[in-house]
Structure 1
Amino acid sequence: MSADKPTVLVVEDESAQREVLSYNLAAEGYRVCQAENGEEALLVVDEDTPDVIVLDWMMPNLSGIEVCRRLKTRQVTRGIPIIMLSARSEEVDKVRGLETGADDYVIKPYSVVELMARVRAQLRRTRPSAVGVQLEFDDILLDGETHKVSRGGKPIKLGPTEFRLLRNFMEKPARVWSREQLLDRVWGRDIYVDTRTVDVHIGRLRKALMQHGGDDPVRTVRGAGYALG
């Protein structure tokens, strides 16, 4: 996963449509992964967890609806938003898609502008700071657009890695993150970094957040990792 850009997986067996979608998503600033069938989609998700999946219903062998069902029944992937694309415009089909676990349902032919808005809406829910939303936790305020952080109204100066760490924590307060998960989310999967580096940056983040006083908001969970609050 990219350290900063939200990742969108496009699953579409028609190459022309797949390329148009990928081009437009990349132009919006997303990192794009592609899969041309259901089996490949499941492999990609295992290797590189996306933030949103745009999934075509009608595909040979493994249909989009089956891919959706499998992802939504697994603990590790059930939280990934899925936008289902389908030429089926009947109400019963839309209901079936949503009941299988799809988070949104877009009927073909669709407007690319509308689809981009739907992707943004899902990200706003799961990765709010990635679309410029302000995050708040106790007296800490993080602005995803201006990259500014304050605590108790006083500005906090953070390096880029500490900012990404804090943003990750604030998107899911109370969730415990292992060092490996933080490496994936904050540094990116393509970079080799020792897990001890995480501890060093957590130390810097703590120091910065407590520079004007106040309790340490970052909790160490023995044998598991770190959490906020």
Structure 2
Amino acid sequence: MGSEIWKMDGFELDRRSFSLRVHGTIVRLDPKPLELLFLLVESQGAVISHDEALRRVWGEDVFVNGEAALYTAVKKIRQALGDGTVIETVTGRGYRLRMPVRAASGSALPASSPPEGQRLAILPLLNLSNNPSQDYFLMG
């Protein structure tokens, strides 16, 4: 498993609490820009393409104006970090984080692929509450 806390030049990104701190103070950042920031940090300086960012942050079956959504998310990240140069726009390709990142307290940055033998199981959910308003958790 990869790191859950990353530190970068006065900033701390914490996946467990899904938060960004600047010099110890929590900075409010909407969920999609924050998830994009996690993706950029985990990429360790590699360029994240527009398509990959949309797929990984917004999902495969979500239809959004991709360019506008990414532009807005990157703008919000830059504002939250107080530095417009932290995220580089690579024209025609995507975005890259331009800041050294280190994993906090001995945890390692995630490998580019999951360990061999690691699997993900998706199990069906049941509405055991008998409350029809909870049915949205179920796949139809």
1:169 matches 2:32 = no
Name the structure 1 match of 2:80. 208
Task: Report how many residues are paired.
Answer: 97
Name the structure 2 match of 1:186. 57
- For normalisation by structure 2, the TM-score amounts to 0.63
Name the structure 2 match of 1:137. 8
1:143-162 deviation per Cα after TM superposition (whole angstroms, max 9, x unaligned): 11111211233321111111
Shift of 1:182: 0.2
Structure 1 gap ranges (5+): 1-123
Corresponding letter in the other structure for 2:12: L
Shift of 1:215: 5.7
Shift of 1:140: 1.8
Contact 1:137–1:170 (CA under 8 A) maintained in structure 2? no
RMSD: 1.6
Deviation beyond 6 Å, 4+ runs, structure 1: none
For the pair shown, the structure with the greater C-alpha radius of gyration is 1
Greater length-normalized contact order (CA 8 Å, ≥ 6 residues apart): 2
Corresponding letter in the other structure for 2:5: Q
Structure 2 gap ranges (5+): 99-140
Name the structure 2 match of 1:199. 71
Superposed, 1:104-119 pairs within 5 Å as: none
1:152-182 deviation per Cα after TM superposition (whole angstroms, max 9, x unaligned): 3332111111110111111122110111110
1:18-38 deviation per Cα after TM superposition (whole angstroms, max 9, x unaligned): xxxxxxxxxxxxxxxxxxxxx
Shift of 1:202: 1.0
Query: Percent sequence identity over matched residues?
Result: 28
CA distance in 1, matches of 2:43, 2:7: 11
Corresponding letter in the other structure for 2:46: R
Report which of the two has the higher share of helix. Answer: 1
Name the structure 2 match of 1:226. 95
CA distance in 1, matches of 2:23, 2:88: 19
Superposed, 1:145-164 pairs within 5 Å as: 145-164=16-35
Shift of 1:195: 1.9
Contact 2:20–2:28 (CA under 8 A) maintained in structure 1? yes
